[in-house]
Structure 1
Amino acid sequence: MYNLSKRHYNIAMITRNLATKILAQAEKFPVVALIGPRQSGKTTLVRSLFAQKTYVSLEDPDRREFASQDPRGFLRALPEGAVIDEAQRVPSLFSYMQTVVDECNEPGYFILTGSQNFLLQEGLSQSLAGRVALLKLMPLSLSELKA
């Protein structure tokens, strides 16, 4: 179990089997993309594993508009990289991300989450080819629930 401290209370989180693989890929690739169905725990998992990273949700209309209107400026505002939740909401970011990760050459710079059709987007596979590790998170398994 992971412990997530939130203000004055403590939340125990079930250890996900994919957690160690995500961390291992973040040591090799500058971008890690975690895909999966809605409510499978993608956001909770990456926020717990990468708590030191800035978190940005592109569900937020203002952030999504900023990222859409000025992708270069949006990424420049994240000088240490970030966890970018619902990244498929702004597919134009991927080609700009390529330039950023090529310049910084730092593993685990961007951690992305998105829906399953995120994988099918040409922008992700073409722009970030060889720079991104794609991992799929499914809802909790019986073994995870029993652990």
Structure 2
Amino acid sequence: INSARRLAHTPEQADLMEQNARLLITTWGPRVASEEGGLRDYGHREWAGLLSDLHHRRWEEWIALKRSQLQNNPAAFQKTAMKNVSASDAATDYVTQLPDNDKAKPVSEIDFYTIDEAWVNSRKHYTEAASANAVDTAVRLFRELCEN
């Protein structure tokens, strides 16, 4: 994001460059391109702002939905959880209804595109400096998880 902003000559250009950089690693454009065109997360990255703000929000919504489904209908939830799930079945939770689309398409109870679009249009600043040492973190986690 910061690299994209540095390419601009005016504040308006900087905002546009940032928005385009965010688009390329999330929705890849408008809803129809993202969902019908299969371009969502085409330029997938796992950068700090994406993990802490976008992916975290996606997971919160999905986990809340699954908890609700489990609480409201445990038998149906268990039946679904026990079947063999293909990659296309798993992707169903991530597809939302497209406007004016007469094709039969799975509809998620979560509008992930709206979540993604809010992040694309945000202007939250993310530091370029690492917040931790990856090797130190991996060693710490290994010790906590494997040595107990």
TM-score band by shorter chain is under 0.3
More strand by share: 1
Where relative contact order (Cα < 8 A, 6+ residues apart) is larger, the structure is 1
What's the TM-score once normalised by structure 1's chain length?
A: 0.26
What's the TM-score once normalised by structure 2's chain length?
A: 0.26
More helix by share: 2
Based on CA coordinates, which of the two structures has the bigger radius of gyration?
A: 2
